[in-house]
Amino acid sequence: MNKGDLINKISAETKLNKTQATAALNSFIGTTMKALKKGDKLTLVGFGTFSVYKRSARKGRNPHTEKAIKIPAKKVVKFKVGKEFAAIVKK
């Protein structure tokens, strides 16, 4: 499923037109990104939790040259699946 498919599904299930469904989805995505950028956590009970954590610097290896390289520290987004969501996927 891609973004267009998701918009069509939201539109069909909520009786919103596609423009409204697109606006709602874009608002959710934008709000989520802004919250995570600030360092906040987004928890949707039953679905999951989006959070940001700092991955520390580490050593790696270039697979083409086999030389050791330094991988810098960075922030990454983490998603932890909620119980209800996990239970549905397991079925």
Written as one string, the DSSP assignment of 12-61 is HHH---HHHHHHHHHHHHHHHHHHHHHT--EEETTTEEEEEEEEPPEEEE
Q: Using one digit for the tens of pLDDT, what is the confidence trace for 68-82?
A: 999 999 999 999 999
What is the reported pLDDT for 91?
Answer: 79
The position carrying tokens 């919250």 is 35
Token digits of residue 28:
């959710």
Q: Using one digit for the tens of pLDDT, what is the confidence trace for 20-42?
A: 999 999 999 999 999 999 999 99
**Domains in the chain, start-ordered, CATH in brackets?**
1-35 (no CATH), 41-91 (4.10.520.10)
pTM: 0.79
Token digits of residue 69:
């390289």
Q: What are φ and ψ of residue 45, in 5° steps?
A: -55, 130
The position carrying tokens 């700092």 is 54
